[in-house]
């Protein structure tokens, strides 16, 4: 690992990091994504399935991160700059002082993800925090992969990665298509699909048997899953107080995945 000192915000080598907040929100078209923070950098260096292009850190972070930086491939430059330069490049204060740029590469196909014993399926989840939290829960409960329809946000958005505790960097996922596409593929692959819904006629989660391949399907907060998707799956509900009908979508996923995980551990 050879640090490269950078003293000017206009240095062309820092182009991928310019105004990252705005570029994240509008969507990048160059196949790059940005990782922020010490924990996610460590995962990017040690466990990620994505190629690292460069690292950009504040001067004060060089020594504390040295052991992590030494695990990077030799051809990955580590740009080191004063905090003022880093903030100017990013367009806002980078308090963590740690950024990295990686390449998405070729996306995984649906058939490359639908093989694990347990899957998490996200439909219309447009909130980056919820997607990140859903990935974190999936990793915690041993899920083998995640499917996201084309209406769900990118799990490689900077904040989603951070909220996922870095799990979005290594957990296999397929992003694209529709919920109907996913349901059809899951049925063809032999999955029982649990459509999480507050409907009173849905089966309480504690009464759901767990055997074979199971996929947990979550819809957007507010509207929830469309009737067509619920009708093509097994409706499952989480019992709760009579004057309240729902929990955060990531929480609902965690409860369902925990139930499946625990049942599988007892076999």
Q: Which domain holds residue 51?
A: 3-103
Same domain, 149 and 254: yes
Q: pLDDT by residue (tens digit) across 218-231?
A: 999 888 999 999 99
CB 80 within 8 A of CB 97: no
User: Residue 54 pairs with which residues in a beta bridge?
Assistant: 101
Same domain, 184 and 132: yes
Q: How many CA atoms lie within 13 A of 155 on its CB side?
A: 31
Tell me if residue 104 falls in helix, strand or coil. Answer: coil
What are the backbone angles phi and psi of residue 195, rounded to the nearest 5°?
A: -90, 110
Per-residue pLDDT, 156: 94
Per-residue pLDDT, 26: 59
* Strand ranges across the sheet with 51-58: 3-5, 78-81, 51-58, 98-103, 32-36
- Which alpha helices (DSSP H) does 149-188 contain, by range? 158-163, 179-188
**DSSP conformation letters of 13-47:** GGGGGTTHHHHHHH--SSSEEEEESHHHHHHHHHT
Same domain, 97 and 146: no
Per-residue pLDDT, 254: 97
CATH number for the domain spanning 10: value is: 3.30.1330.30
CB 196 within 8 A of CB 256: yes
Per-residue pLDDT, 120: 98
Domain final residue pick, 68, 103, 138: 103
Domain final residue pick, 61, 78, 103: 103
Same domain, 127 and 259: yes
CATH number for the domain spanning 259: value is: 3.40.1280.10
CB 38 within 8 A of CB 57: no
Same domain, 67 and 89: yes
Domain final residue pick, 103, 132, 153: 103
Same domain, 15 and 73: yes
Residue numbers in the chain where pLDDT is lower than 70? 24-28, 267
Same domain, 143 and 209: yes
Same domain, 78 and 125: no
- 98-103 and 203-204 as β-strands: parallel, antiparallel, unpaired? unpaired
Helix (H) or strand (E) holding 54: strand 51-58
Neighbours of 84 (CB within 10 A): 11
Count of structural domains, the chain: 2
Residue entry with tokens 């699909």: 193
Same domain, 208 and 255: yes
What is the b/e burial string over 222-234, where b = at least 16 CB atoms within 10 angstroms of the residue's CB?
A: eebbeeebbebbe
Same domain, 219 and 176: yes
Same domain, 99 and 114: no
Same domain, 132 and 231: yes
Per-residue pLDDT, 13: 96
The Cα 153–Cα 39 span in angstroms is: 22
Per-residue pLDDT, 223: 85
CB 146 within 8 A of CB 138: yes
């Amino acid at each position: 690992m050879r640090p490269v000192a950078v003293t000017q915000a206009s240095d062309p080598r820092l182009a991928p990091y310019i105004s990252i907040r705005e570029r994240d929100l509008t969507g990048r078209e160059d196949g790059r994504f940005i990782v922020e923070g010490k924990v996610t950098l460590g995962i990017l260096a040690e466990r990620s399935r994505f190629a690292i292009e460069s690292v950009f850190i504040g001067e004060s972070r060089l020594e504390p991160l040295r052991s992590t930086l030494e695990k990077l491939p030799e051809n990955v430059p580590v740009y080191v700059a004063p905090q003022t330069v880093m903030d100017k490049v990013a367009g806002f204060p980078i308090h963590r002082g740690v950024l990295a740029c990686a390449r998405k590469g070729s996306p995984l196909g649906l058939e490359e993800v639908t093989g694990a014993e347990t899957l998490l399926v996200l439909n219309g989840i447009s909130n980056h925090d919820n997607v990140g939290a859903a990935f974190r829960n999936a990793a915690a409960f041993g899920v083998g992969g995640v499917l996201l329809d084309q209406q769900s946000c990118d799990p490689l958005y900077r904040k989603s990665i951070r909220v996922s505790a870095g799990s979005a960097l290594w957990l296999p996922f397929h992003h694209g298509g529709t919920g109907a596409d996913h349901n059809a593929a899951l049925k063809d692959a032999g999955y029982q699909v649990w459509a999480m819904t507050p409907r009173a006629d849905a089966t309480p989660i504690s009464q759901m048997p767990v055997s074979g391949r199971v996929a947990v399907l979550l819809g957007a907060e507010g509207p929830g899953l469309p009737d067509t998707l619920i009708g093509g799956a097994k409706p499952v509900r989480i019992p709760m107080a009579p004057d309240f009908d729902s929990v955060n979508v990531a929480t609902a996923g965690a409860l369902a995945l925990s139930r499946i995980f625990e049942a599988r551990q007892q076999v």
